[in-house]
Amino acid sequence: MSINPSRSSSFSLRINSHSSLRYMHLLISLSSMSLTRIRPISFHSHHSIFQSSKARPHNCRQILVYSSVSMDSTATELAHDYSPFLRIYKDGRVERLMGTDIAPPSLHPITQVQSKDVVFSPQHNLSSRLYLPRNANPNQKLPLLVYYHGGGFCIETPYSPMYHNHLNNLVAEANVIAVSVDYRRAPEHPLPIGYDDSWAALKWVASHLNGNGAEEWLNSYADIGKVFLAGDSAGANIAHHMAIRNTEEKLVGINLVGIVLVHPYFWGKEPVGNEPKEAEKRATVDVIWHFACPKTSGNDDPWINPLLDPKMCGLGCRKVLVIVAEKDLLRDRGWYYYEKLRNSGWGGLVEFMEITEEDHVFHLQKSTCENALAMLKRMASFIKED
């Protein structure tokens, strides 16, 4: 069954981002709010929440605000205006303003990759965007890539133009079938709901064992005996935890070969590497995590700090590729993950790639730059190698 990922009622306005406040102040203010008062508002964004506002385009842009909440007199009274990111109302409602563009599924004119949206969880109206490479042949099934998008567990979808472009390019380069997963986001759906949705998508993939599933592309073209997981930022965090869960709750038919963790969103109570020099940025990341997972035990919760998780050496795959960016605040977390896994006694192969002179998820915004292309080729070769 195909769906349209666009949300219901919407209205548009224009905001000049020259007037924006620093994102740090926004997140610190969010941390003091009671999340029990937040009402659901859907949103999308095409920027990394780990980047400073300086990295965002400073031009007037059109954005859409989606809301299912009726606007009574009290609901329209602003408590804080953090345009162009958020508005917080006196009744506790949060209105997201950042980025709502959606790229429809299509036949990509350059890569000739086809895509379509397919429901995997009717109960929660969740879908995946499927990608089929050029010249796919049912007589020669291809590896399957399950991809989890980033966004601090709070923003982004598989349908954003940046992710759609990235998956088109990756599918063409690696010659794989891809399933780009939608999951419910915080704070309306705090973690671990996003993890559970991500696991539900993987179970849906497993239902296509022996070509008996509901989706013809997976039945005809995907080799679920050769599955890879990948994600960036929060999506890399999800990919890691799906590999752990695959050890505990082995899915019949799924042979998880490897995972690719791009700029993984891991954290911890004690600063590592260069983090002591970045106290303000650390405070921002602290807030993002507690905002997404209000019932967390803290920054050493195994959900966010796998280095302290005794299950880490039980990854249910046989190889891992960790990719970091030199200027990324999360760079050292990725490095320590690689080092810990490499020395943990885990029996698989772990690889590491660092991109110099780049920041968090740079490849999504600069997909044609030399570093982004090099990273794409490394990801593709990791998938292609036996």
CA dihedral for 360, 97, 237, 242, sign (positive or negative): negative
Whole-number Cα distances in Å, 239 to 72, 80, 228, 259: 41, 35, 9, 7
- Token pair of 133 as six digits: 């490479």
Looking at this protein, which amino acid is placed at residue 220?
S
Q: What residues are annotated to the active site?
A: 233, 328, 360
- The predicted model gives 311-322 an average pLDDT of 94
| CA atoms of 90 and 80, how far apart (whole Å) | 8
- The predicted model gives 54-67 an average pLDDT of 37
* Spatial CA neighbour of 232 closest among 195, 262, 258, 267: 262
- The predicted model gives 356-374 an average pLDDT of 97
Kind plus residue range of the DSSP H or E element containing 130: strand 126-132
Lowest mean pLDDT among 56-70, 214-228, 271-285: 56-70
The confidence score (pLDDT) of residue 151 equals 86
pLDDT at 25 > cutoff 70: no
Residues facing 145 on adjacent strands: 178, 228
pLDDT above 70: percentage of residues in the chain: 76
Kind plus residue range of the DSSP H or E element containing 231: strand 222-232
* Spatial CA neighbour of 110 closest among 180, 169, 175: 169
28-53 pLDDT, tens per residue?
334 333 333 333 333 334 455 566 44
The confidence score (pLDDT) of residue 50 equals 62
| CA atoms of 104 and 106, how far apart (whole Å) | 6
Answer whether 256's CB lies under 8 Å from 246's CB.
yes
Q: ∠181-353-237 over CA atoms, to 5°?
A: 35
The confidence score (pLDDT) of residue 291 equals 82
